[in-house]
Amino acid sequence: FGGTYGCPIKRDRFFFFASYEGLRLRQPVVSLSDVPSMTARRTAPPTIQPLLNLYPLPNGLARPDGFAEFASSFANSGRHDTASLRLDRYITNRLMISGYYNLADSNAQERGAGGFSLNTLNRIFNRSRMLTGTIAYTISPRMVAEFKANYSHFSSRSSYRLDDFGGAVLPAESILSQSALFS
pLDDT digits (tens, 9 = 90+) for 12-21: 899 999 999 9
- pLDDT classification of 58: cutoffs 50, 70, 90: very high
Segment 10-36 shows an average pLDDT of 94
Q: Is the pLDDT of residue 181 over 70?
A: no
Q: Are 36 and 62 in contact (CB under 8 A)?
A: no
Nearest to 154, CA basis, from 104, 80, 109? 104
Q: Which of 27-41, 63-77, 86-100, 159-173 has the lowest mean pLDDT?
A: 159-173
Angle (CA) 48 169 174, round 5°: 65
CB burial of 32-57 (b: ≥16 within 10 Å; e: otherwise) equals ebbbbbeebbeebeeeebbbbbbbbb
- Percent of the chain whose pLDDT exceeds 70: 94
What pLDDT shows up at residue 2? 97
Whether pLDDT at 109 is above 50:
yes
Radius of gyration of the chain, Cα coordinates, nearest whole angstrom: 28
User: Which pLDDT tens digit goes with each residue over 152-166?
Assistant: 999 999 999 989 999
Note the pLDDT of residue 114.
83
pLDDT: which is higher, 37 or 116: 37
pLDDT in the model for residue 173: 65
